[in-house]
Structure 1
Amino acid sequence: MNTMEFDVELDARKLSCPLPILRTKKMLAQMEGGQVLKVVATDSKSPDDFADFCKQTGNVLLSASSQGEEFIFYLRRRQT
C-alpha cells in the first residue's frame, strides 16, 4: 500500500454528493497553501467529483486511489 505524507485527514465516508466536496472545500480553507489533505470517501461519484473540483479551484489532486469500497484522495492546497 502506497501512503503519502499529509497534514490533515478528512473522513468523508458514508457521505453522498455534494457533502464530500463541501467538507473538503471547508477544510482546505482552514489550511495553509502547500499543505496536503487526505480525504477518504465512499461515494461512487467521488473520483470524478474530486478531479473536477481540483480543476475548478486550482488545488492539486496529487493522488486518487481505491481500497475496496473506499476512495482515497490526496490534495495539495493551492498557494494563495
Structure 2
Amino acid sequence: MSDTFDITETLDVKGASCPMPVVKTKSAIDGLSEGETLEVVATDPGSMSDLDGWAAGTEGVELLEQVEDGDEFKHYIQKTA
C-alpha cells in the first residue's frame, strides 16, 4: 500500500494478462466517486504501458504513479470526474 496516496480500493489483477487488467480497472473506477483512488496490483509487465495508455486516453481519470515492486506492478489511478 502506498504511503503517498489515500487508497480507496485495491484491485488485484495478478495473473491476468492484456486486456483484462484494463477491463477490470475501468469497471472498478466506474464504481468510485470523484477524488477516490484505486490501487491496481498486476503481475503482467504489459500493464505498465496498457494502463498508462488507457488513463491518457480516458477522461475523468488520472494515473498518479506506477511502481515496479519485484514481480508486481502497482498502479495508482484517481477518478477525477
TM-score normalised by length of structure 2: 0.90
Q: Secondary structure at 2:41's aligned position in 1?
A: strand
Alpha-carbon distance between aligned partners in 2 of 1:45 and 1:65, rounded to the nearest angstrom: 13
Pairs within 5 Å for 1:26-65: 26-58=27-59, 59-65=61-67
Match of 1:19 in 2: 20
Structure 2 unaligned blocks of 5 or more = none
Q: Secondary structure at 1:7's aligned position in 2?
A: strand
Match of 1:66 in 2: 68
TM-score normalised by length of structure 1: 0.92
Structure 1 unaligned blocks of 5 or more = none
Which amino acid is 2:55 matched to?
C
Alpha-carbon distance between aligned partners in 2 of 1:2 and 1:20, rounded to the nearest angstrom: 19
Please state how far the C-alpha of 1:5 moved relative to its aligned partner: 2.0
Alpha-carbon distance between aligned partners in 1 of 2:67 and 2:6, rounded to the nearest angstrom: 15
Please state how far the C-alpha of 1:2 moved relative to its aligned partner: 5.2
Question: What RMSD, in angstroms, separates the aligned Cα atoms of the two structures?
Answer: 1.4
Alpha-carbon distance between aligned partners in 2 of 1:34 and 1:2, rounded to the nearest angstrom: 16
**Structure 1 vs Structure 2: percent identity of aligned residues?**
32
Alpha-carbon distance between aligned partners in 1 of 2:2 and 2:62, rounded to the nearest angstrom: 18
Aligned residues: 79
Q: Secondary structure at 2:77's aligned position in 1?
A: strand
